[in-house]
Structure 1
Amino acid sequence: MSKVVLITGGSSGIGKSVGDYLTQKGFTVYGTSRSPEKYTANNFPLIGLDVTKTETILEAVKIVIEKTGRLDVVINNAGVGITGPIEEIPEQEIKNNFETNFFGPINVIKAVLPQMRKQQSGLIINVTSIAGYMGLPYRGIYSASKGALELVTEAFRMEVKAFNIQMTNVAPGDFATNIASGRYHAPVLENSPYKNQYGTSLKLMDSHVDAGKNPLEMAKAIHQIINSPNPKVHYKVGEFMQKFSIVLKRILPDKIYEKLLMNHYKL
């Protein structure tokens, strides 16, 4: 019997690429979207789900279990970007980002654990970000939300091992998706002391996404993880230098690493 996979944020970008690829490989895939009716040409079914609304999470999980009787793999992929000087980002936008990128995945995990415990099996893959390994200028809130998910996964996976449930993180670098168009951009204000630096950094960030890798690489990496008998705690998928930046952070003195980042972002 093919494994049943649930992917949050499955209507576009990395989520859609993963869903398409796993469908081709014979998995039974269900994706989610806040507006599934907009995507009629999908290769796998989409279920309505908003990760910021717990009732929709519970309903979507219930639908999949009723249709298939099980739930083998859950991919917490839904997420949103956010950019801006931390001083100028409205508090509500910071909270909104954590609701989607941090509390949303936790609530999805809580919703699926009873079924996986009943099966005595399951795999949960949390899509984080290489940005979550370091505080990036003008992306600090995004770094914080993804870094928080990385750490909570480390704890969570130890708590669920006794039930034969596995959990892992996959941290992508820049991929050619529509994340830049969907993220919250604090406006570049004319009278802002950050105007020039933030404006330059914003153009650099957008160019990185536009020149990013093909999301199919993430799909292939996730397929390998699903087929792994003992997934690692952390995976990184992206350009060599993006992955190497994590190694440099471990071995370089803090101020030297900070200087490298500032040079990179032309600060």
Structure 2
Amino acid sequence: MERKVVLITGGSSGIGKSIGIYLKSKGFKVFGTTRKLDNYPGFNHFDLLELDVRDPKGIEQAVSKLISKEGRIDVLVNNAGIGITGPIEETPHDEILKAFDTNFNGPLHMCKAVLPHMRNQNQGLIINITSIAGYMGLPYRGIYSASKGALGLATEALRMETKSFGVHFSTLAPGDFATNIASGRYHAPILEGSPYALPYDKTLAIMNEHVDAGKDPMLVAHMVLRIINAKKPKVHYKVGDFMQKFSLFLKKILPDKVYEKLLMNHYKL
């Protein structure tokens, strides 16, 4: 049987790298993407393509190159993303636009590039990596939450629009995992004299503790394989700490103000 071809954006590190390594070990033909190949001269875990999800033309070129080489793309994992923190009032708007360009527009550009090929194949699977944070507006992470939440809603629509073509869509929402996302995250500066300075500083410390104590990203890779192997993939999947997943259940059943109070207590606000 011909091996399935998997394309993973943001595949050079963190969750994307773990997904690529695991899927390759299971017999898939894996291609990851990175913005700058020159930064990974010794990378030999799987093939890397140079691709910036913010560049639609570059995406088209990379996808065409892969199709020319392999003849197909069976699975797209939209994993590339960036973190952003800060009080919304004090976060520079160009940084907000950058976050949405990577976390929301980027996956949509990728979907648009691969869908014609999947439609011609009459089969395909696209997994959009969102976040448990995308199910709620988190204080000082509101832009990140919004960008991931928007991707989740767009995925629901895409799933219905493409079902008749044999294409499946799912979201996979991780909680906190031990990756380098904190180091690459944009932090709005803590401004001297700002009314947000103290609570923002405290919340940042809690966020970083959660990432440092995060689970092994290989758990996300295992869930990706589970989705690939599913005959009828579900709309949404979650993976992470029990309490993080349980918080989504609480959001469904608790009054909004009660849930808001729980979040504020968690972040000591």
Tell me what 2:129 maps to: 127
Tell me what 2:199 maps to: 197
Tell me what 1:179 maps to: 181
Work out whether residues 84 and 186 of structure 1, in 8 Å CA contact, stay in contact via their aligned partners in 2.
yes
State the Cα deviation string for residues 36-55 of structure 1 (Å, max 9, x = none). Answer: 22222231011000011111
Work out whether residues 201 and 265 of structure 1, in 8 Å CA contact, stay in contact via their aligned partners in 2.
yes
Tell me what 2:251 maps to: 249
Q: In structure 2, how many angstroms separate the alpha carbons of the residues matched to 1:29 and 1:41?
A: 13
Q: In structure 2, how many angstroms separate the alpha carbons of the residues matched to 1:154 and 1:63?
A: 29
Q: In structure 1, how many angstroms separate the alpha carbons of the residues matched to 2:62 and 2:182?
A: 27
Once the two structures are TM-superposed, the CA of residue 184 in structure 1 deviates from its matched residue by 0.5
Task: Calculate the aligned-residue CA RMSD, in Å.
Answer: 0.6
Q: In structure 1, how many angstroms separate the alpha carbons of the residues matched to 2:62 and 2:248?
A: 36
Once the two structures are TM-superposed, the CA of residue 95 in structure 1 deviates from its matched residue by 0.5
Once the two structures are TM-superposed, the CA of residue 108 in structure 1 deviates from its matched residue by 0.2
Q: In structure 1, how many angstroms separate the alpha carbons of the residues matched to 2:129 and 2:250?
A: 22
Counterpart AA for 2:82: V
Tell me what 2:236 maps to: 234
**SS of equivalent to 1:158:** helix
Gap runs ≥5 in structure 2: none
Tell me what 1:63 maps to: 65
Tell me what 1:81 maps to: 83
Once the two structures are TM-superposed, the CA of residue 77 in structure 1 deviates from its matched residue by 0.2
Tell me what 2:45 maps to: 43
State the Cα deviation string for residues 67-117 of structure 1 (Å, max 9, x = none). Answer: 100110000000000000000001100011000000000010000000000
**SS of equivalent to 1:46:** strand
- Which runs of at least 4 in structure 1 moved beyond 6 Å after TM superposition? none
Counterpart AA for 1:64: L
Counterpart AA for 1:250: K
Q: In structure 2, how many angstroms separate the alpha carbons of the residues matched to 1:152 and 1:257?
A: 25
Gap runs ≥5 in structure 1: none
* Identical counterparts, % of pairs: 65
Once the two structures are TM-superposed, the CA of residue 188 in structure 1 deviates from its matched residue by 1.1
Tell me what 2:27 maps to: 26
TM-score (ref. length: structure 2):
0.98
Q: In structure 2, how many angstroms separate the alpha carbons of the residues matched to 1:262 and 1:27?
A: 44
Tell me what 1:4 maps to: 5
Work out whether residues 11 and 36 of structure 1, in 8 Å CA contact, stay in contact via their aligned partners in 2.
no
Q: Does 1:263 align with 2:265?
A: yes
